[in-house]
Structure 1
Amino acid sequence: MRFEEKLKEFPKEAIWSEYCGFLDLDIREYMQIQNRLLKEQIRLWSSSSLGQSFLKGKFPGTIEEFRAMVPLTTYDDYADVLLARRKEMLPEEPVIWIQTTWEGGKHPIKAAPYTQGMLKTYQNNVLACLILSTSSKKGEFDVSAADNILYALAPLPYPTGLFPVALGDEIGIGFLPPVKDAVEMSFKERNVKGFQMGLKKGIEFFFGMGSVAYYVSLSVAAMGSGGSSKGLKKLAGISPSMLLRLAKAKKICKEENRQLKPKDLFQLKGFMCAGTDNRCYKDDLEDLWGIRPMELFAGTEPSCIGTETWTRNGMYFFPDTCFYEFIPEAEMEKNMEDSTYQPRTVLMDEVQEGEKYELVLTIFKGGAFARYRVGDVYRCAGLTNKEDETKIPRFQYVDRVSSIIDIAGFTRISEYSITRAIELSGLPIKDWIAQKEYKDNRRPVLHMYVEMEAGCLANHAVSQMILKEHLGIYFKYIDEDYQDLKKILGMDPLEITILKCGTFDRYRLETEKNIRHMSPPAREVQDLLRAEGDKGGIRRV
């Protein structure tokens, strides 16, 4: 029975229990589901050619043996099989392949296979997210087949393209614009068309990456104010009730001396956001739409794995998507210092409140990835929660692992990316470090601290603006996603601080430490800046 039919036939309590019942589990019950599904996956994965490429003739019989025999893996370990789409080597036949950027400047894409079982789990969990996005307390929700959702997602083969497919099979929610049309449109065209249709039909849901949702929201506000393509003059077929609401909204905005906001025109039931850096945008999005976004976590390899509830106070991981392991922060640091070190992991029933962890996943239902380091770091926000009466751990997304700088969910900038950009630019940069920082407006930037070759600044061979301009050009050249930050979001994420010559050598001499180029701890950057003093040696672009 389709979800749409269940809404008509069954009481809300039954539907809530089916899709959101995992929130009632205690940790023992949660781990029973985890362990049962992992044992099924171990049998499938161990018997496949892919699994045996790791196990070398071994067949783990228990979860403990599986964790001991299978090393922690990264996409490099699967690339030869998955990029060639060698389905005969996989645990189960894939029905669709999803892809995304792997690492800008080095690897163009990474692809992930989805089995029928994975898609069914994804579908159920997406419906749970839809329900929870409208809830204000346990058991309460408001979803209808007559609802419309503003389309702000990348289409297939990107993972967000699965969302409308999964919903479309279960409920006739309308996408604005329709998916079949949206895939042929540019980002800007989708925004304009979606807004035009929203004025005629209404908008009940909005789902997108936090950064994209913010940009779209500003565009909607501008169009509603008449600031884009002559605003509403070219629109036809707007309902009388919407015209009245628009007139009232403009009057209020004029009286309050402010710009029109989407909440003046639309009353969302649910607002969902995914991706990185959502915390930078959630307050602004709540102000624009009058409803706080519900954060969920989804990725190319694992699909949809977690969601917040009506409390908007941390994400809960679905127990039936993946088996979760967690690398404690101290183990992450050991591994950063020594790449040959195999970090210790803990399980869901072993995490500690307040601690940070790198996530490790084994995909259920015939998935390809086992003990996979997906590259994301979470903080355990609590083991229980009185607000929503849960008894399982909840998590807050922190960021990508320190070897990757992700800006607004668009980029995966690595040490290789930066090194390559510097080489191509030909700029006389002697040494550098880079980290992700947040500015006064809470927006993320890629901040590089660079030291030029001796004499370059003295003879004015290079200036700060030239440095920024050149590096920006080559970042765009080697990383298409970096280009999209400017093209789609209007962001220029690069900030550069030029250090005095000899700064890095002095630091190494005084501390006897090597400097990690990528995302060093803030204290290392501060050490460098203190070494400069306030003598005018620091130049920021």
Structure 2
Amino acid sequence: MKFEEKLNEGNKQEIWDEYCGFLDLSMEDYMTIQKRLLLEQIDLWSKSRLGQKFLKEKTVSDIEDFRNTIPITTYRDYSDVLLQKNKDMLPQDPVLWIQTTWEGGTNPVKVAPYTKSMLETYKKNMMACFLLSTSEKKGDFDISAKDHILYALAPLPFATGILPVLLKEEIDIKFLPPVEEAQNLSFSERNKKGFKLGLKQGIEFFFGLGSVTYYVSKSFASLSGGGQKGGSLKQTLTGVSLDRLLKYVKTQRNCKKNGTSMAPKDLFQLKGFMCAGTDNQYYKDDLEDLWGIRPMELFAGTEPTIIGTETWTRSGMYFFPDACFYEFIPDDEMEKSLADPSYQPKTLLMDEVVPGEKYEIVLTVLKGGAFVRYRVGDMYRCVGKTNKEDETFIPRFQYVDRIPTIIDIAGFTRITETSIETAMDLSGLNIQNWVARKEYLDEKRPLLHIFVEMHKDSMVTTGMSQQIIKEHLSIYFRYLDHDYKDLNIILGMDPLKITLVKHGTFEQFETEGDSFSRKVNPPLSEMNHFLRILSGIREDRRFK
């Protein structure tokens, strides 16, 4: 039975229990589900040619044996099979393949197979997110087939493109603009058309990457007709009902009188607002101010599907027990494995995590998925194992960021040491040393900050400036990484910051007994020492 049919029958408690009942699980019941589904997946996976590639004729008898036998994996372990879309190797036949960026420049694309069972689970958990986004307490939700959702999603084969397809199978919520039309429009055209239709029909839901929803929301005044004159404004408002038209005119007049810009909350009253991706913690306050409702964060990825969601309290994400089997690498174990790739980090299970501690997540995709004990590259902090407000007894998590060796900007990029080195080599700049880290502007927007030391001769002969270096590197980052280019095209962001340091700075850093264990997001102690050296150089007026 479709969700819409269940909704028409009118038993809200049964609907809530079916989709959101996992929030009532005890820790013991949660782990029972996790272990049962993992054993089913181990049986499927072990019999597949992909499983045998890892097992090498070994057998796995139970969960502990599985964890001891199978090493922690990365995408490189699957790439020869998955990039060829070799379905004969997989535990179950995929219904579709989802695509995302792997590593710009050297490995641009990675793909992940989705089975029918995975999509059924995805659909059920997606509907749970819709319910929870509208709820103000347990058992409460407000969703209707007459609702509209503003389109801010990347189309298939990207992961967000699944949502319209699966949602249509459950309930006839209308996308603005319609999906078939939106996929043929540019980002700017889509936004203008979406708000134009929203003025006529209303907007009840909004979902997208936090950075994208922020950009769309900030652009609302111009997209909705603010600042337009004559024919353009008349065209925008053609077909708008009298009530909405009067509200629009009154709002525009008040904004002009007060010297303020029109905000989405002035015209629309969202039922549900959902955001995904990275850096959401830096957008949520502004988004709440713009829409009058706090976004509910959820987490979904290309490999794991949708795995977690906040509730009405917006105080941390709970992981769905039927999407993946979860393991957690403690922070110190993660650092050991990053320093020594041959080291196999110890992992904890969901019932072993500690509030306040930070973990890298390790996933085994259930329901016939390809990935086992897989490092997806994301970090979470456990914020509690119980919650009186939610009346829950299972752990909840706050998304932290990508692992330290990856710099993700606004959910778009995956910048690594390799991609930075490649951009520098292609640029022809005579760079001797560098170190990069993720930082935030005063307004809390993310950026890539690279400290650059040129070869001594190149600095003397060319008088190389920070701006020239930035312009050169930006060109090659955009050339190598389409997602980096989209930051500028879609969001109007230029995330690169360059600090040119005096020749010999890195040598002084090493002479004083330190060196960078990695060039991307080095440990805080190393970076602080480096910055102290820079500060001292500046005070001596030797920094240029």
The separation in 2 between residues aligned to 1:443 and 1:488, in whole angstroms, is 15
Asked whether 1:419 is paired with 2:421, we answer: yes
Q: Partners in 1 of 2:228 and 2:78 — Cα distance? A: 46
The answer for the alignment partner of 1:274 in structure 2 is 276
Query: Distance between the aligned counterparts of 1:57 and 1:188, measured in 2?
Result: 54
- In structure 2, the residue corresponding to 1:389 is in which secondary structure? coil
SS of 1:488's partner is helix
Q: Distance in 2 between matches of 1:229 and 1:17?
A: 51
Q: Relative to structure 1, is the Cα distance of residues 229 and 352 closer, same or farther in structure 2, using a 3 angstrom cutoff? A: farther
Please give the per-residue CA displacement for 1:130-151, whole angstroms capped at 9, x wherever unaligned. Answer: 0000001111110000000000
- Preserved contact between residue 477 and residue 484 of structure 2 (Cα < 8 Å): yes
Question: 1:331-480 alignment to 2 at 5 Å?
Answer: 331-480=333-482
Q: SS in structure 2 opposite 1:105? A: coil
| Alignment match, 2:175 | 175
- Contact kept, 8 Å, 1:302 with 1:322, in 2: the verdict is yes
Q: Which amino acid aligns with 2:456?
A: A
1:94-493 equivalent positions in 2, closer than 5 A: 94-224=94-224, 226-227=226-227, 232-235=233-236, 236-493=238-495
Displacement of 1:229 in angstroms is: 8.0
* Cα deviation, residue 529, structure 1: 2.0
Say if 2:192 and 2:224, in contact at 8 Å, map to a contact too. Answer: no
1:512 to partner: Cα distance: 4.3
Residue identity in the other structure for 2:398: Q
Residue aligned with 1:113, SS: strand
Q: Structure 2: 5+ residue runs without aligned partners?
A: none
2:355 alignment partner, SS class: coil
Q: Which residue of 2 aligns with 1:535?
A: 540
Equivalent position SS for 1:80 = helix
Provide Cα deviations, 1:275-324, integer angstroms capped at 9, x if missing partner.
Answer: 01111111111111000000000000011000000011110000000000
Shift of 1:225: 5.0
For residues 229 and 249 of structure 2, the distance between their equivalents in structure 1, rounded to whole angstroms, comes to 19
Deviates more, 1:251-260 or 1:416-425: 251-260
- Structure 1 residue 525: Cα displacement: 2.2
Cα distance in 2, alignment partners of residues 324 and 504 from structure 1: 41
Say whether the 8 Å CA contact 2:339–2:517 is kept in structure 1. Answer: no
Does the Cα contact within 8 Å between 1:456 and 1:462 map onto a contact in 2?
A: yes
**TM-score, L = length of structure 2:** 0.97
Between the aligned partners of 1:129 and 1:505, the Cα distance in structure 2 is 52
Letter in 2 for 1:233: K
CA drift of 1:63 comes to 0.3
Given that residues 361 and 373 in structure 1 are in contact (C-alpha distance below 8 angstroms), is that contact kept between their aligned partners in structure 2? Answer: yes
The two structures have a TM-score, normalised by structure 1, of: 0.98
Q: CA RMSD in A?
A: 1.3
Cα distance change, pair 512–495 in 1 and its aligned pair in 2 (3 A): closer
Cα distance, 1:183 vs structure 2: 1.1
Distance 2:68 2:341 in 1: 19
Question: What is the rounded CA distance, in whole Å, between the counterparts of 1:179 and 1:229 in structure 2?
Answer: 29
Aligned amino acid, residue 51 of structure 2: G
Q: Which residue type is aligned with residue 406 of structure 1?
A: D
For residue 393 of structure 1, what is the amino acid of its counterpart? P
For the 8 Å contact 2:105–2:480, the answer to whether it is kept is yes
Q: 1:484 Cα deviation (Å)?
A: 0.5
Aligned partner of 2:46 in structure 1 is: 46
The more displaced of 515-524 and 474-483 is 515-524
Residues 499 and 537, structure 1, Cα contact 8 Å, conserved in 2: no
Deviation at 1:458, TM superposition (A): 4.1
SS of alignment partner, residue 268 of structure 1: coil
**What is the deviation of 1:185?**
1.1
Inter-partner Cα distance in structure 2 for 1:524 and 1:243: 59
Give the drift of 1:228.
5.3
* CA positional deviation for 1:108: 1.7
The answer to whether the 8 A contact 1:498-1:538 is kept is no
Structure 1 residues 237-264: Cα deviation after superposition (integer angstroms, max 9, x where no partner): 1111110110121122233321000000
Give the distance between the partners of 1:106 and 1:337, measured in 2 at CA: 22
Q: Per-residue displacement from partner, 1:341-400 (whole Å, max 9, x unpaired)? A: 110000000000010100100000000000000000000011111111111000000000
Q: Who is 1:6 aligned against?
A: 6
SS in 2 for 1:16: helix
Listed one character per residue, the Cα deviations across residues 381-425 of structure 1 (whole Å, up to 9, x for unaligned) are 111111111110000000001111000011111101100111111
Does the CA-based 8 Å contact 1:223-1:232 persist in structure 2?
A: no
**Structure 1: tracts of 5 or more residues without a match:** none
Verify the 8 A CA contact 1:224 1:260 in the aligned structure 2: no
Quick one: distance in 1 between partners of 2:62 and 2:469? 56
